Chain A
């Protein structure tokens, strides 16, 4: 993208760090990085990520409970999820993440519109909440007859010493037809939502995956990992799979149901969309069942086509390959039409993306298709491997704040371990550019003239906006109206501003149209009132009236 404005990133970075107290500046310096690659190795610079939040800095981050209950388990419609804690956590995570779901029949269970909580009061904080939790589980079973119940710990639960796992076990013995499991996802665990992902992965892996060996009908069986069906994204991916003849065994966890998760281990390939939240599951399923995983990305039309081709290459079946090519060419026709229409209005514009743990990377593909440049990007809670690629995994040190997040020991299942890919196949696919169990990260794909900032805060966002004035800024609801007050379009990339889907080919079309609407909206030209643009008052009316009232006054 020649001829585009360049920014003095060094200066902007310095300006950001300058204002901080020395101790804070030292910490932030390692999290605010210019993406200049090493000239010899071509690797991006090292960034510090997944470290504790600086108190009082006005972070965008949430907590472990949000990562576990809100993100990973939340979208599964028929696991009845009980928040064990005071009322807030359950209330705020109730229907606020737009995980759409579509039960297959009128009779299928769907608990998503419900919030279940033990609503702990002072009495339980003093005398313990286990009794109340047990009774709540009994009431839930009596009123809702769920197949599975998940229990989610909140901050005080760990402190008062409620043993939620013992409660789950005891209640499961009493109600053997219900699978009851608990998550120790107290809000203070780890440093962000990320710890909650890990805790959710572990428990789903030990207590749900592998319970049902019944193999689903169909060919080319895959799982979609880390796709949460925000605004119907998973629906669009499901549509494409159906068109291509790919069998979706289970999704973790957009539009998912418990039953499908129990037989996830019967698939032959795991597709990882959001690496941060679900890579643990992908790893563990590979170790225990021999299912390989590949990183895919269904955001961006080109990325979607590439991902579908990846799946076809893995199964290496001429019929599937032909079908995939046919679907791509049919779908791309409409995509290209819209893209060409929109491109002249979006080309050359500047975007910034500060989103969770994966979208700040994925959405750059969509902006690229619109001819837009991402000048700054970062995550709230991703780890170094999401920024720099999994090659840095051996060098990541787990610090004191995250050390207590359990790492499961997983080995091959004595009966069900079955490697799906031979060494020879793997070599062949590698030659085609398909790496198993790898993710290259966000930074290698970003422009050298860009800033990468981990755990961006309100102050830093303000500096970025004032110095760079992007044409669009992408983040979440807490940032939305701050950015708009600056007179800039702001796109929420967590909840899509209540639209979507943005995944797949139809999603790309939606996104192109949405970004065109936003960056070219007339409202941004109307921010400045006309009287501030015109010359000072010329009329004589006010003056005359003043004289008149003076005349009146003297008459009185």
Chain B
């Protein structure tokens, strides 16, 4: 057994986290910053954080992840990191020539209390920031929230620094995607664009973290939201924030700063949440839902009707980030699957309340185990006490899947051992088909591998 110390008996833990389903803020901020065109994410702390965050993102995407660091030493940790950041800014512009440097912090610089705006101002006064180039920042203390918090803060900083209030209203929708992969961002843009409006999406990592191999390495690939687009965010007709935790703060900040009406929706995962997203697009643009999109929806319904017998009543455990959990669980309940255990690493009463409402509405006779915050050790213990047929979560869930002999489907971050998430979306109706494909194939492969020979079927 891989997890030989995981016992059925659950002892309450308040201080020791074992096998977390979350990580720390700066990696989310780094990811968000990579969604700006020609931007160098910069980690203001000791260099280990930056190395870890780059490594983890690069393992997830199998793509270069460029970021710099202030490389604190003990001296800087005691007396402050101003010198380090000033040197870094000068070196980054002269060596790597980005258009933007997006600074985030770590527990180190946050604990010592470095004042980033003041340091950046000094860098500017000293002429270290070339004309037309930008340095902006978000505070991302690792001891608050999770990687989703860090992502949210960096995206909000894009609004704080760049969006300009405007009297003019253009036919433009702003999209703030949640903490999703590049193909998801592509898909969100495609769906929104089908309503015939201009779409400004920030951040946008497609074309940055899913580039092809051409023989020429580009430190700053063609993708990413332009600063000029961020400036125009203030004149859009509406902002849709997808994911309350990851996208909510930026969408609301844009409303407050520029008066762009915002709506914060769930990530469009599965049928119902995508319906809400599509309806919102239709409502804000005044454009009826395009026929192509309606056809895509119909295919999801078609597939579920075709394969319902393999989904109905199947017991599922889900682990992931809070914005993913709600629409995902909603989708699973709509498929009439039996969701038994749910954990997220984030501390959140809100999502617990929403989850309760969701079950009251869609599965009133079921009461799942739910923990926010919880960890994978707890999830595994729950599964030992109340087994499931499927685990949905990131790569770390595979240790449970192997020990308990359950199929697992990879959704979320990080996915270190499978391909697909770099190329195909899980959001929107097309994404819903892909989720169904992964779930159904996991079940069907299990049937093929385990049924007695006399029941082995050609057609399923």
Contact = CB atoms under 8 A, between A and B. Distances in A.
Nearest to A117: B17
A56 B45 CA distance: 11
Given A110-B4, A154-B107, A401-B75, A478 B51 contact: yes
Nearest to B217: A485
Most buried by B among A66, A113, A404, A484: A113
Nearest to B395: A95
Interface string B65-77: 1111111111111
Contact of B5 (A114, A159, A487): A114
A526 B323 CA distance: 40
Contacts of A116: 16-18
A66 to B, nearest CB: 5
Given A63-B47, A88-B27, A118 B17 contact: yes
Interface string A452-493: 000000110010000000000000111011111111000000
A187 B48 CA distance: 6
A143 B18 CA distance: 11
Contact of B16 (A58, A87, A140): A140
A62 interface: yes
Q: Interface residue tally of chain B, by bracket?
A: 35 or more
Interface string A116-160: 111111101100000011011001101110000000001110111
B216 to A, nearest CB: 7
Given A52-B73, A404-B74, A486-B216, A113 B399 contact: yes
A82 B7 CA distance: 19
B24 A88 contact: yes
A109 interface: yes
Interface string A374-387: 00000000000000
B211 to A, nearest CB: 7
Given A90-B20, A159-B111, A59 B216 contact: no
B2 interface: yes
Given A122-B141, A155-B77, A191-B73, A57 B95 contact: yes
B284 interface: no
B47 A61 contact: yes
Nearest to A138: B15
A527 interface: yes
B62 interface: yes
A400 interface: yes
A175 interface: no
Interface string B86-112: 011111101110000000001110011
Interface stretch (A17-25, A37-45, A295-303, A501-509): A17-25
A20 B95 contact: yes
A114 B377 contact: yes
A56 B88 contact: yes
Contacts of A459: 95-96
B441 interface: no
Contacts of A482: 64, 66, 217
Contact of B143 (A24, A125, A143, A483): A125
Interface stretch (B52-60, B179-187, B254-262, B302-310): B52-60
Contact of B74 (A113, A188, A477, A478): A188
Nearest to A478: B54
Most buried by A among B23, B63, B70, B85: B23
Contacts of A159: 77, 108, 111-112
Interface string B1-21: 111110100010111111110
Nearest to B211: A485
A56 B92 contact: yes
A195 B273 CA distance: 50
A65 interface: yes
A111 interface: yes
A63 to B, nearest CB: 2
B294 interface: no
Contacts of A133: 15
A87 B27 contact: no
A505 B52 CA distance: 33
A114 B19 contact: yes
A62 B17 contact: no
Most buried by A among B5, B46, B213: B46
A477 B111 contact: no
A241 interface: no
Contact of B65 (A19, A156, A478): A478
B22 interface: yes
Contacts of A485: 64, 211, 213-218
B49 to A, nearest CB: 7
A135 B14 contact: yes
A274 B51 CA distance: 22
B156 interface: no
Interface residues of A, number: 87
Contacts of B92: 56
B84 interface: yes
Given A459-B95, A478-B58, A481-B63, A60 B51 contact: yes
Contacts of B345: 87
Given A88-B27, A113-B3, A155 B46 contact: yes
A197 interface: no
Given A156-B107, A156-B108, A114 B47 contact: no
B53 to A, nearest CB: 8
Contact of B215 (A21, A477, A527): A527
Contacts of A118: 15-17
A524 to B, nearest CB: 9
B217 A113 contact: no
B95 A120 contact: no
A92 B56 CA distance: 7
A528 interface: yes
Nearest to A134: B15
Contact of A401 (B13, B74, B95, B146): B74
Contacts of B142: 85-88
A58 B56 CA distance: 16
B91 A54 contact: yes
A486 B215 contact: yes
Contacts of B62: 481
A188 B211 CA distance: 34
Given A139-B13, A158-B77, A159-B112, A53 B88 contact: no
A503 B449 CA distance: 36
B363 to A, nearest CB: 31
Given A55-B70, A114-B19, A85 B107 contact: yes
A91 interface: yes
12 contacts: A56-B69, A61-B47, A88-B142, A92-B56, A94-B19, A118-B17, A120-B143, A400-B75, A480-B58, A481-B58, A481-B62, A487-B215
The 9 closest A-B pairs by CB, nearest first: A63-B48, A56-B88, A88-B24, A487-B215, A55-B88, A92-B52, A86-B142, A56-B91, A155-B108
